[in-house]
Amino acid sequence: MNSFAGPVAGAAPIVADKGPMIDPFGRAVTYLRVSVTDRCDFRCTYCMAENMTFLPKKDLLTLEELNRLCSTFISKGVRKIRLTGGEPLVRKNIMFLVRELGQHVKAGALDELTLTTNGSQLAKYADELFDSGVRRINVSLDTLNPEKFKAITRWGDFHKVMEGIDAAQRAGLKIKLNAVALKDFNEFEIADMLRFAHGRGMDMTVIETMPMGEIDEDRTDQYLPLSKLRADLEEQFTLTDIPYKTGGPARYVEVKETGGRLGFITPMTHNFCESCNRVRLTCTGTLYMCLGQNDAADLRTALRASESDDYLSAAIDEAITRKPKGHDFIIDRTHKRPAVARHMSVTGG
């Protein structure tokens, strides 16, 4: 990881590029995903080991520092911010950050503030999220079977998540369900989940499992290519490709029988990197220019080196020059190690 040195006595001040952030491949970086915590109140089997070691709380940026970092990215052309985790809503006082960032939405400087959640805390926070300017959220849900839900999340309560979804819809939040497609677990449930989501006015996205972090299971046993899943779904539904985009990597189809949208996120079978407009910030101030690469920039040093944002802005500029063309995910029997050692909860989903 490259560290960005702070100001040196007597040195000429660094002037940050105030133009839009353009990576080496001509892509404008307009989307920031922020992992506000690596902690989660679930232990999903494809995401975490059951006995996780989390970052010491002293290593985390304060919410005020995260707000300053996000605000700097907004000033540099970021138009969409997604808060992730771990589970973002378990971070103490997280609504302070949501309210602060929501001010940029209300001022027109940010097009959208959204978050990805497991739904466990939604009943508590749904109204406040809406009042703060959030209009759309993603809820991760891999099964509608309460017993299977308990098995895959280890610690989760299915009925609490359903209560959260109810509360979010009452508050006016639009919901998209995210389901990780897992062989021999939920591949034959996706059709019913699709009907459930579309029946309640929610979009749905299915995601291939990603080789990130050591877990307790063999990912080759879990991996389900979405090309196969789509073929299976087309035995029941009429799927038509559409150009709909939300700013993320999903490719969408319209489902004729339900009238809803279904997205496919395929990091394994179809690399989605050519149009990537995203970078990821962790709760420790580390910026990953690519989810599937280890190269990163230490923005915490620049953040704390000066009260001026010029050094921080210049550190961001330097990092963007190292954004790679794409990731190198692979899952097969010869690659027993994860493609990336860090867990998804560190970088954010």
Tens digit of each residue's pLDDT (9 = 90 or more) over 84-117: 999 999 999 999 999 999 999 999 999 999 999 9
Give residue for tokens 């559409």.
242
Nearest CA among 124, 123, 118, 204 for reference residue 155: 118
Within 10 angstroms of residue 157's Cβ, the number of other Cβ atoms is 17
CA gap 203, 289 in Å, rounded:
28
- The per-residue pLDDT for 56 is 87
Q: Which amino acid is at 338?
A: P
- The per-residue pLDDT for 246 is 81
- The per-residue pLDDT for 193 is 97
Cis peptide bond prior to 86, omega within 30° of 0: yes
Query: Domain coordinates of the chain in residue numbers?
Result: 13-347
Backbone φ and ψ of 123, nearest 5°: -60, -30
- The per-residue pLDDT for 178 is 96
- Encode the chain (349 residues) as per-residue pLDDT tens digits: 555 444 444 444 444 455 689 999 899 999 999 999 998 887 777 777 777 778 888 889 999 999 999 999 999 999 999 999 999 999 999 999 999 999 999 999 999 999 999 999 999 999 999 999 999 999 999 999 999 999 888 888 999 999 999 999 999 999 999 999 998 889 999 999 999 999 999 999 999 886 544 545 554 567 888 999 999 999 999 999 999 988 778 899 999 999 999 999 986 544 556 778 899 999 999 999 986 677 899 999 999 999 999 999 999 999 999 998 775 544 444 444 444 444 444 445 5
**Residues 6+ away with beta carbon under 8 Å from 331:** 209, 211, 219, 220, 223, 268, 339
CA gap 272, 205 in Å, rounded:
15
CA gap 227, 81 in Å, rounded:
30
Assigned CATH for 13-347:
3.20.20.70
Per DSSP, 250 falls in state -
- The per-residue pLDDT for 12 is 41
Please measure the distance between the N-terminal and C-terminal CA atoms of the chain and give it in whole angstroms. Answer: 21
Six-digit token string for 143: 């099964």
User: What residues are paired with 137 via a beta bridge?
Assistant: 115, 175
62: exposed, middle or buried (Cβ count in 10 Å: 0-12, 13-18, 19+): exposed
Tell me the pairing of strands 2-3 and 31-35.
Answer: unpaired
Q: Are 345 and 35 within 8 A, CB to CB? A: yes
Give residue for tokens 């040196």.
8
Q: Are 269 and 224 within 8 A, CB to CB? A: no
185-208 pLDDT, tens digit per residue, is 899 999 999 999 999 999 999 998
Within 10 angstroms of residue 138's Cβ, the number of other Cβ atoms is 21
Q: pTM value?
A: 0.84
